[in-house]
Amino acid sequence: MIDVRLLRSDLDSVRARMGRRNKPELLTQIDEAVALDAQLRELASERDDIRRRVNEISKQVGQLRRDGQGAQADEAMAESRRLGDTEKDLASRTADTEERLRQVLLRIPNIISDEAPTGTSDEDNPVVRVHGFDPASFGDHQRVPHWETGVALGILDNERAAKISGAMFSMLRGAGATMSRALCQLALDRNADAFEEIRPPTLVTSATLTSTGQLPKFADDAYAIERDDLWCIPTAEVPLTSISAGEILDEAELPKRFMAYSPCYRRESGSAGRDTRGLLRGHEFDKVEILAYAAPEHGRAMLDEFVARAAGTIEALGLPYRVISICSGDLGQSHHLSFDIEVFAPGSDRWLEVSSVSWFSDYQARRADIRFRRAGQKGTEHVHTLNGSALAVPRVLAAILENYRQPDGSVVVPQVLRPYMRGITVIGPK
């Protein structure tokens, strides 16, 4: 969440930067937070004044009794009890107001970086760079959608996946399943030089999902296991972010880098009938995530590193791609500055988002209470968090099936994947 102290010290700037998100209701929420914060400070001040008065009376009572002034001591005790009742009422009202303020702050998104381009939707996201894309280079054999190629090769069986689990689930078979695993291992290996591999739980508590910003705002997009107050993770970002929740790190420990393979679960509410063919959109998929805690001054440079790592893996796979800067009106709830990587799929004739890389400043760390202490300094600061999709399987695999399709209908396995494919170099029809 944003630092409430900014609402006191730099409100005009907060309102101006929040206004870039083009959501007028956010300014109303900011005003509500300001009013609740003022009310909270007033209540807390009154409560603390009464507590001090009760402590003073307590000392007076002892002195009065030592001086033999029992009647005056009894009167002071009676006043202390009356003040105690008032203090309890103020404490309850303070706690209630504090929780109301917290709930408002949880719904207010992060402050946008000045570097984020201004825009209202994804149509305003500028292209930063393009690599390996030549629209005239694709043959007719590559302009076959992956869902047709996958079925013809016997490696994609969404019909049986729907029988097992319902709509918007997919099932890979044979060499398709092998390639899915190979893609994950490739992404892990390419980042093993700097990232600790984690195999996190894929069920998390409400507090954990709140830390990254999915709750409370995006509860409808997540799968809930209500009986146990657990949630299926939408991405490994969620458990990785909370590894050090509630902890104070030493500056020397930063940056801390984690990577994880996990299945991911998303309800995709409102997506029925939209981009749901083949592997383009589904309720469950595999992904490798990279995440870091960094000191604030290192956040921007690390964002560039994350983008380079994610793009480097796509480049190693030989896929045409482009990097997109996410505009102010398209940034997510927790995002301070973000870039997307998209691959071109000639069979679908479209760019597919395969990676989102984001810098969250201290927004998530405040929710999860992840802090660090600088060497030789008193006090603590919140870390900055960053994360990125090192590789999300479905759309990358879809792009491979389309870009690497041959005139005879077979699909050549990208060279970089072959060490993981058990000797398979070409996927042909059965």
Residue 113 lies in a domain: no
- By percentage, how much of the chain surpasses pLDDT 70? 99
- Domain total in the chain: 2
**Rounded-to-integer distance, Cα 388 and Cα 212, Å:** 13
Cα pseudo-dihedral 262, 233, 110, 371, rounded to 10: -70
Residue 9 lies in a domain: yes
Residue 401 lies in a domain: yes
Residue 115 lies in a domain: no
220-234 pLDDT, tens digit each: 999 999 999 999 999
Q: 54: burial class by Cβ within 10 Å (0-12, 13-18, 19+)?
A: middle
For the chain, give the number of residues: 430
Q: Are 151 and 77 in the same domain? A: no
Mean pLDDT (whole number) for 7-22: 95
Tokens of 305: 């590193």
Residue 140 lies in a domain: yes
Considering only CA atoms, which of 215, 288, 234 is closest in space to residue 258? Answer: 288
Contact 334, 360 (CB under 8 A): yes
Q: Which residue has the tokens 């570097």?
A: 115
Average pLDDT, the chain: 94
Q: Are 198 and 336 in the same domain? A: yes
Quick one: pLDDT at residue 334? Answer: 96
Q: Which pTM does this prediction carry?
A: 0.92
Asked if residue 68 has pLDDT above 90, the reply is: no
151-195 pLDDT, tens digit each: 999 999 999 999 999 999 999 999 999 999 999 999 999 999 999
> What single-letter amino acid sits at 293?
Y
Confidence of residue 210 (pLDDT cuts 50, 70, 90): very high
Which of 81, 107, 133 finishes a domain? 107
**Rounded-to-integer distance, Cα 399 and Cα 317, Å:** 10
Q: Are 102 and 244 in the same domain? A: no
Residue 117 lies in a domain: no
Q: Which residue has the tokens 């069986």?
A: 157
E strands along 295-361, which residues? 321-325, 337-345, 350-359
Distance of CA 266 to the CA centre of its chain: 13
Q: Are 127 and 102 in the same domain? A: no
Work out the number of other CB atoms within 10 angstroms of the CB of residue 49. Answer: 13
**Rounded-to-integer distance, Cα 111 and Cα 361, Å:** 9
Q: Are 227 and 303 in the same domain? A: yes
Cα pseudo-dihedral 395, 399, 400, 404, rounded to 10: 170
6 DSSP assignment: H
Contact 3, 14 (CB under 8 A): no
Asked if residue 62 has pLDDT above 90, the reply is: no
- Domain assignment of residue 67, given as a range: 4-107
Contact 287, 383 (CB under 8 A): no
Phi first, then psi: give them for residue 304, nearest 5 degrees.
-60, -40
Cα pseudo-dihedral 96, 100, 101, 105, rounded to 10: 150
Domain with residue 59: its CATH number is 1.10.287.40
Quick one: pLDDT at residue 269? Answer: 64
Residue 59 three-state SS: helix
Confidence of residue 55 (pLDDT cuts 50, 70, 90): confident
Q: Helices 393-403 and 175-191, interaxial angle, to 10°?
A: 110
Q: Are 93 and 168 in the same domain? A: no
Q: Are 12 and 127 in the same domain? A: no
Quick one: pLDDT at residue 70? Answer: 79
**123-127, 132-136, 209-213, 271-275: range with lowest mean pLDDT:** 271-275
71-119 pLDDT, tens digit each: 888 888 888 888 989 989 999 999 999 999 999 999 999 999 999 999 9
Which of 83, 107, 131 finishes a domain? 107
**Rounded-to-integer distance, Cα 106 and Cα 227, Å:** 24
Distance of CA 259 to the CA centre of its chain: 14
Tokens of 287: 């992904």
Q: Are 349 and 229 in the same domain? A: yes
Quick one: pLDDT at residue 347? Answer: 97
Which of 107, 132, 167 finishes a domain? 107
Mean pLDDT (whole number) for 63-78: 81
Residue 112 lies in a domain: no
Q: Which residue has the tokens 């479905």?
A: 394
List the helix and strand counts (H, then E) for the chain: 12, 16
Q: Are 70 and 157 in the same domain? A: no
Considering only CA atoms, which of 392, 403, 410 is closest in space to residue 150? Answer: 410
**Rounded-to-integer distance, Cα 56 and Cα 175, Å:** 78
**Rounded-to-integer distance, Cα 64 and Cα 71, Å:** 9
Is the bond preceding 255 in cis, omega lying within 30 degrees of 0?
yes
Domain with residue 164: its CATH number is 3.30.930.10
Q: Are 287 and 315 in the same domain? A: yes
Residue 130 three-state SS: strand
**Sequence-ordered alpha helix ranges (H) in 244-347:** 299-316
Q: Are 301 and 222 in the same domain? A: yes
> What single-letter amino acid sits at 384?
H
Residue 236 lies in a domain: yes
Q: Are 341 and 399 in the same domain? A: yes
